[in-house]
């Protein structure tokens, strides 16, 4: 394959396409709401209406508005239909022939859509994830060609550095710096790993990207491979995402067939093969050193860093590990340039971030917004606020993050601002809570999570999470005294400061942040110690 051939494929695909495109979401969310049947009926209707030479129905990935699925969107009109049933689906096609559609018409200009800026999700909902030609027609694999034939590896690294891109897996480490470190390491064998473990509950950005646009991630990985001198990549996907795995497998096969992955990519001396590794349900495997153990077929126990994977990673070789969303940004940076990318976002947080907006919120789903947007804009304008109620808190960063109170909704969303208020960007889960959620219960909920997910290797995390959980449970049973609360705080700090890996170090965050902003809820649960009075509550406390 060379550039002319690539452009030919794109041209042939465009010629094959019909002027009117009916996009039907077939990702996990809409699929569970019968989207497959909707799509079948749409296709049937196109035939019945004799529109086959003008209209095509395309099964696409996530359009973002998952709470209102199944979604059907029509280009070029940009009509959006929500909660489409298989029965009503044909009427949408009939409407193209002058009839009227029975399905609910959505507002494509709603802030939920209008405020978004799509880089990572640029093709989601437009491209057919199961056909590489569809991706190529949108300019796919041209960035890979560009780096192979027009750029030296150091220039590619330089471009990424200059873009200001930071890791989207939670830590926010500068991506270019990481690439530069691995590129400089000696050795013939290096690896690229894409972290698609996405263990943070309430987050599904990575699943959506993998299901909607797998080639975007594969192309990003290949560019990384060229930049750092690796010829082998692994993509680690959690087993809970069967559809993402299936689509990735298909995508890899198709790319190999076209000579865009495998040996001699684009007929150049660069080889790059990608293997999929499937997780088996362990949150800690999202941690990079644990993930490497898991790829090697072992227990997902983290190992102390340094050495960082960049020096000594998979099979002891220098390894670049980045998140799915991080890789999904690469092709655009190469195509549009680092300066363009760096012009989006804030001083220290460049580009966009995808968030999974869930919980007690009117508009549920995935959004991609420029960094620096405030939480209020996301939750109130785009999300439409809490149905019959008010926002009490927004949880970001999952089990490693914290709960941000409604009074701080004007905080801009970027790595540093969120960290400054005791939460973190995390991978992009954003769970909105209203008055029905008790903050102590939420703290207990996350501690239960960490208690169950600790790998058990280091003592502070293994036993600390158990003790913290016990203390929170005691509080919720109204059996804890002020001394217990003190103990809870002290233990939080100890677990945070002494654990081996990020799991333990950040496990106390949900407790610490709720203590900081919702202390009253903790205080309200306290009881007097038994020796101070002989009332029934104290008596209960003793029996414990």
Ligand X SMILES: Cc1cc2nc3c(=O)[nH]c(=O)nc-3n(C[C@H](O)[C@H](O)[C@H](O)COP(=O)(O)O)c2cc1C
The binding site for ligand FES (CB under 6 A) comprises 201-202
Residue 148 to residues 152, 160, 219, Cα–Cα distance (Å): 8, 15, 12
Quickly tell me which residue has 């909704």 as its tokens: 409
Please report how close the Cβ of residue 249 comes to ligand X at its closest, in angstroms: 20
Max Cα-Cα span within the chain? 87
HSE-CB at 64 with a 13 A cutoff on CA atoms is 30
Please report how close the Cβ of residue 496 comes to another protein at its closest, in angstroms: 21
Binding-site string for ligand X from residue 127 to residue 156, where x marks contact by CB under 6 A and - marks none: ------------------------------
- For residue 107, how many other CB atoms are within 10 A of its CB? 11
Q: Which of residues 285 and 310 has its CB atom nearest to ligand FES in the complex? A: 285
Q: CA 160 to CA 342: how far, in whole Å? A: 10
Write the interaction track for ligand X spanning residues 236-275; mark x where CB under 6 A is met and - where it is not: ----------------------------------------
Of 160 and 367, CB closest to ligand FES: 367
Q: Does 501 interact with ligand X (rule: CB under 6 A)? A: yes
Please report how close the Cβ of residue 240 comes to another protein at its closest, in angstroms: 5
d(CA 396, CA 433): 11
Q: C-beta of 287: minimal distance to another protein in Å?
A: 14
**Residues 47-66 interacting with another protein (rule: CB under 8 A):** 66
Number of residues this chain uses to bind another protein (CB under 8 A): 55
Q: Which two tokens stand for residue 149?
A: 């034939």
**Selected range binding ligand X among 124-132, 273-281, 284-292, 330-338, rule: CB under 6 A:** 284-292
Query: Rg for the chain (alpha carbons), in Å?
Result: 25
Least distance (Å) between residue 33 CB and ligand X: 26
Residues 81 and 92: beta-carbon distance below 8 Å:
yes
Q: How far is CA 260 from CA 115, 210, 362, 503, 506, in A?
A: 35, 18, 42, 37, 40
For 503, phi and psi rounded to 5 degrees?
-60, -55
401/395 Cα distance (integer angstroms): 7
Contacts of another protein in 365-424 (CB under 8 A): 365-366, 395, 398
Of all residues in the shown chain, the one whose CB is closest to ligand FES is: 201
Query: Whose Cβ is closer to ligand X: residue 74's or residue 165's?
Result: 165
Token pair listed for 39:
């799509």
> How are the residues of the chain apportioned to helix, strand and coil, as percentages rounded to the nearest 5?
45, 15, 40
Report 419-458 residues binding another protein (CB under 8 A).
429, 431-433, 437, 445-446, 449, 453, 455
Distance of CA 488 to the CA centre of its chain: 31
Q: How many CA atoms lie within 13 A of 206 on its CB side?
A: 31
Residue 39's alpha-carbon distances to 59, 60, 90, 262, in angstroms, are 7, 10, 10, 34
Segment lying near another protein (by CB under 8 A), choices 115-123, 239-247, 497-505, 515-523: 239-247
- Decide: is 510 part of the binding site for ligand X (CB under 6 A): no
Q: Which does 474 bind (CB under 5 to 8 A by kind): ligand X, another protein, ligand FES, none?
A: none
- Specify the DSSP class assigned to residue 237: E
Cβ pair 103, 81 in contact under 8 A: yes
Q: Which 253-292 residues touch another protein, going by CB under 8 A?
A: 277-283
Q: Which does residue 359 bind out of another protein, ligand FES, ligand X, none, counting CB within 5 to 8 angstroms by kind?
A: another protein
Distance CA 259, CA 266 (A): 6
Q: How far is the CB of 358 from ligand FES (least distance, A)?
A: 7
321 binds, among another protein, ligand X, ligand FES, none (CB under 5 to 8 A by kind): ligand X
Query: Of the listed pieces 38-46, 221-229, 363-371, 375-383, which binds another protein according to CB under 8 A?
Result: 363-371
* Contact of residue 464 among ligand FES, ligand X, another protein, none (CB under 5-8 Å per partner type): none
* Residue 213: both structure tokens together: 């646009």
Kindly give, in sequence order, each residue whose CB lies less than 8 Å from that of residue 434, ignoring residues fewer than 6 positions away: 360, 386, 389, 390, 391, 392
> Are the C-beta atoms of 67 and 57 separated by less than 8 Å?
no
By the rule CB under 6 A, 503 interacts with ligand X: yes
Q: Using CB under 6 A, which of the segments 38-46, 77-85, 316-324, 358-366 binds ligand X?
A: 316-324
SS3 94: helix
Which span (89-97, 173-181, 238-246, 344-352) binds another protein, by CB under 8 A?
238-246
Which of the stretches 113-121, 262-270, 315-323, 360-368 binds ligand X when contact is defined by CB under 6 A? 315-323
Q: What are the backbone angles phi and psi of residue 532, rounded to the nearest 5°? A: -85, -30
Binder of ligand X out of 140, 169, 429, 460 (CB under 6 A): 169
Question: Residue 93's closest CA among 84, 425, 497, 524?
Answer: 84
User: Which parts of this chain interact with another protein (CB under 8 A)?
Assistant: 28-29, 31-33, 66-67, 69, 198-204, 207-208, 239-242, 245, 277-283, 294-300, 356, 358-360, 364-366, 395, 398, 429, 431-433, 437, 445-446, 449, 453, 455
User: Which parts of this chain interact with ligand X (CB under 6 A)?
Assistant: 167-171, 173, 195, 197-200, 284, 286-288, 321-323, 326, 427, 501-503
């Amino acid at each position: 394959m060379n550039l002319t051939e690539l452009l030919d494929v794109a041209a042939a695909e465009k010629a094959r396409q019909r002027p009117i495109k009916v996009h039907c979401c077939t990702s996990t969310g809409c699929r569970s709401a019968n989207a497959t049947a909707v799509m079948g009926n749409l296709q049937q209707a196109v035939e019945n209406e004799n529109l086959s030479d003008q209209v095509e129905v395309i099964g696409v990935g996530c359009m973002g508005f998952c709470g209102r699925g199944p979604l059907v969107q029509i280009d070029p009109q940009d009509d959006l239909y929500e909660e489409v049933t298989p029965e009503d689906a044909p009427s949408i096609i009939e409407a193209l022939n002058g009839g009227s559609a029975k399905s609910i018409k959505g507002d494509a200009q709603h802030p939920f859509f209008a405020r978004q800026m799509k880089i990572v999700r640029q093709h989601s909902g437009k491209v057919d994830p199961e056909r590489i030609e569809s991706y190529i027609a949108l300019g796919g694999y041209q960035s890979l060609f560009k780096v192979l034939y027009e750029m030296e590896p150091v220039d590619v690294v330089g471009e990424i550095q200059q873009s200001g891109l930071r890791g989207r897996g939670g830590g926010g480490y500068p991506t270019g710096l990481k690439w530069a470190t691995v590129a400089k390491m000696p050795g013939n064998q290096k690896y690229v790993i894409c972290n698609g473990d996405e263990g943070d509950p309430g987050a599904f950005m990575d699943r959506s990207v993998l299901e909607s646009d797998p080639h975007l991630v594969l192309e990003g990985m290949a560019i990384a491979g060229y930049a750092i001198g690796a010829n082998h990549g692994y993509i680690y996907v959690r087993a809970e995402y069967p559809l993402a795995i299936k689509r990735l497998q298909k995508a890899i096969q198709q790319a190999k067939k076209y000579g865009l992955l495998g040996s001699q990519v684009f007929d150049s001396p660069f080889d790059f093969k990608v293997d999929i590794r499937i997780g088996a349900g362990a949150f800690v495997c999202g941690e990079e050193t644990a993930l490497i153990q898991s790829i090697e077929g072992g227990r997902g126990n983290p190992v102390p860093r340094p050495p960082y994977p960049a020096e000594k990673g998979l099979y002891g070789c220098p390894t670049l590990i980045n998140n799915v969303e991080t890789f999904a940004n690469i092709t655009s940076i190469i195509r549009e340039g680092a300066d363009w990318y760096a012009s989006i976002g804030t001083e220290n947080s460049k580009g966009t971030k995808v968030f999974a907006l869930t919980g007690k919120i009117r508009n549920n789903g995935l959004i991609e917004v420029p960094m620096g947007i405030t939480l209020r804009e996301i939750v109130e304008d785009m999300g439409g606020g809490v149905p019959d109620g008010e926002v009490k808190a927004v949880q970001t960063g999952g089990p490693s993050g914290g709960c941000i109170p409604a009074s701080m909704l004007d905080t801009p969303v970027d790595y540093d601002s969120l960290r400054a208020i005791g939460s973190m960007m995390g991978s992009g889960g954003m769970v909105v809570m209203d008055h029905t959620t008790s903050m102590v219960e939420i703290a207990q909920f996350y501690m239960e999570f960490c208690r169950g997910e600790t790998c058990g290797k280091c003592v502070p995390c293994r036993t600390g999470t158990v003790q913290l959980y016990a203390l929170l449970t005691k509080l919720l049973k109204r059996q804890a005294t002020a001394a217990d609360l003190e103990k809870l705080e002290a233990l939080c700090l100890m677990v945070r400061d002494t654990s081996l890996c990020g799991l333990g170090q950040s496990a106390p965050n949900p407790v610490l942040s709720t203590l900081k902003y919702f202390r009253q809820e903790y205080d309200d649960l306290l009881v007097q110690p038994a020796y101070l009075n002989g009332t029934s509550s104290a008596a209960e406390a003793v029996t414990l």
